[in-house]
Structure 1
């Protein structure tokens, strides 16, 4: 029995994931990887290169982005005691949920860019239940991503 969810009733008054900050060696190169190999839209790259913003980002969807923070930014991470210690310690992985055709396109795009991918897993549990298919890949900075799709 599935629990009731509010997936179809999202408004600005619901809790959602806004962004994840990834530590990267070269934010411009990272943005290029996410644009060319993953197919995500880069944001603020020119402004970063001009020194107008501290880091660029890439858009996952209309409400979620990945910030690409340079490891040299560590001294500025003072929002909590010990926050700077997270530099170089990526999260275990970030999962991107895609429609089936986009899942297949991503796997092909990563292969075209020589990015190693794991075998396909089936039935791994996530926010929307058990995924139909999933696989893992790593960005050039060592951040691990899972790509998955669910049957709708």
Structure 2
């Protein structure tokens, strides 16, 4: 593997209700909410949830798409299909996430073994959807 200092900073998901989405990610997925109060007060454009110290998921309201001006055609990205986002966790956190999702009534797929990813073949993985239908994979590797 190449020694590379590039990191994934953030992923932006279009959501119907950013506050509800942040609550889902906090309670069902176990991610730390960021700027939710500021969003509710109107001082932040959108809230986020923290995946780790280097990576967040931004929860952008779909109505915000019309304001997207960074690139011609950016507004058309609202609702653009993304196949899935993958979260890699330690084995105990993987098991805890699956249990927490099931406790919150979130359907999860069966367990897959050996799916290839950034660190090689995963020991176990499963899939679930968030409130807006975005698909997530959760996986862990043997360390």
TM-score bracket, normalised by the shorter chain, equals: over 0.9
Moved over 6 A (4+): none
**TM-score, normalization by structure 1:** 0.92
What are the ranges of 5 or more consecutive residues in structure 1 without an aligned counterpart? none
C-alpha separation in 1, matches of 2:122 and 2:87: 11
Q: 2:69 aligns with which of 70, 78, 88?
A: 78
C-alpha separation in 2, matches of 1:60 and 1:112: 21
Once the two structures are superposed, what CA deviation does each residue of 1:45-104 show, in whole Å capped at 9, x if it has no partner?
A: 000000001000000000000000000101111111111111112411000000000000
Identify the residue that residue 41 of structure 1 maps to in structure 2.
32
**TM-score, normalization by structure 2:** 0.97
What are the ranges of 5 or more consecutive residues in structure 2 without an aligned counterpart? none
The CA RMSD over aligned residues, in Å, is: 1.0
Identify the residue that residue 87 of structure 2 maps to in structure 1.
96
State the aligned residue count: 143
Task: Verify: 1:58 aligned to 2:49, yes or no.
Answer: yes
C-alpha separation in 2, matches of 1:89 and 1:5: 31
